[in-house]
Amino acid sequence: MEQQSIDLSVMDVYDIASEIGKEFEKIIDTYGSESVSNLMPKVIFALEHLENFSMRNEKENSIIQDLKDRIAKLELEKVEKAQDQKKFERELEQIEEHWKSETKDLVTVLAKVQEENKRLRGAVADQKDVLMTTETTIASEVDVVVLQRLKAMVDNQREQIRNKEKELTMKLSELESLTTQVDKLTTTGKELRRKHKIVQNQVRILIEERADFLGQLQDQQKEISVLRQNLGIAEKENEDLTKTFESSLIESTNKSTFEIDDPNRPRFTTLELKDILQERNDLKAKISDLEDELDLYRPKKTSTIDDDEAPVQGPLPYEPDDAPWKRSNDSFVRKFFRKLLNENNITFLGGSPKRSFSTLSKLGLSSSATNSTGI
């Protein structure tokens, strides 16, 4: 349960709200709107808290992921630097050991040469005067050879040290270039995450607009069904009037004489009555057209006039309901349930009851049908 609450996203909350809304619609259709009027604000309050929690959770998860990436990068740099340092120390130790071994070999050779020199000196001690010149020459030649060999070894070691320093410099430059590439990749990742958040916000807005469009479509379908019902009622009443008129016309033709004081005697001929009915229908059509034109030019919302500005002359233009400046800061959950409750004439959280356009249309059509029946 804890893992599910942690992984809950905003889209999951919206899906839950949609499912709850469907269940509320079933309850309202079965038991009426009063059965959920007290429960509805509490459910909406809980869903709003859940929505805020999921949004905050997504932000915190993004921050934690950034920190984890930064820590992993620092640890990787630390490990690479430690490996380079160990490698450099190992190479220095190898060079030092090689130099020590060569120095030891040279010392051994020098000791052997000195021993050989002593042996030769002892062998020719009795011929000191004869071999003095020869002994001095051999000793000087041996010392020169040893010194030349030592100098060559020192030069070789210096050259190796220079090569190692060059390799170390190249490794450091490669490390800097890799660090630059990692920084660029990190920047690219942040930009991609920012674009992903923008896309999520756009998807959320599209979902809200889709919910609004679905609500408007449902209202229009309900209005169309009500208009069709009223049209059927009007056609039926028209047929009844026609039948009544024909029967009365037949009865009037069957009667040959009428009393002057008879209230049911015919006062109009057939042609005159047809002209009156046609004129009544034309007047009804004109009245309907005038009412539509009046609704079109009537302002939807009264606005206050500033003291410094002159009043606007003429009818105000129609403002759409989905204009950007009319959008409120309500959450998606509250908008969804407000749409559901407006369809069922329910109020919550201090709102005032509103009649839908379909209800007003139904009342207007039934009143017109009553007037036509009376005529």
Going by pLDDT thresholds of 50, 70 and 90, the confidence category of residue 340 is low
Name the one residue in this structure whose structure tokens are 């809980």.
46
155-179: burial string, b at 16+ Cβ within 10 Å, e else: eebeeeeeeeeeeeeeeeeeeeeee
Against a cut of 0.85, is the pTM above it? no
End-to-end CA distance of the chain: 70
Length of the chain: 375
Q: Are 15 and 333 in contact (CB under 8 A)?
A: no
With CA atoms as reference, report the closest residue to 334 among 54, 49, 28, 53: 49
Please list, in sequence order, all residues whose beta carbon lies within 8 angstroms of the beta carbon of residue 230, skipping any fewer than 6 positions away. 362, 365, 366, 369
Per the model's pLDDT, the better-predicted residue between 145 and 190 turns out to be 190
* Residue 219 to residue 217: CA distance in whole angstroms: 5
> Which of 227 and 72 is assigned the larger pLDDT?
72
**Rounded to 5°, angle at Cα 79 from 78 and 83:** 120
At position 126, the amino acid (one-letter code) is D
pLDDT tens digits for range 36-95: 888 888 888 888 888 898 888 888 888 999 999 999 999 999 999 989 888 888 888 888
Q: Quick check: 70 and 25 in contact, CB under 8 A?
A: no
- Kindly tell me the number of DSSP H helices and DSSP E strands found in the chain: 7, 0
User: For residue 313, is pLDDT > 60?
Assistant: no
Confidence of residue 2 (pLDDT cuts 50, 70, 90): very low
Residue 135 is predicted with a pLDDT of 54
Helix (H) or strand (E) holding 292, with range, is helix 270-297
Tell which residue, 314, 285, 309, 280, has the closest CA to residue 298: 314
What pLDDT digit, counting tens, does each position of 135-171 carry? 566 556 667 788 888 888 888 888 889 898 888 999 8
- pLDDT at res. 74: 92
pLDDT at residue 227 above 50?
A: yes
Residue 283 has pLDDT above 60, yes or no: yes
Domain boundaries, the chain: 2-194, 268-295
Residue type, 6: I
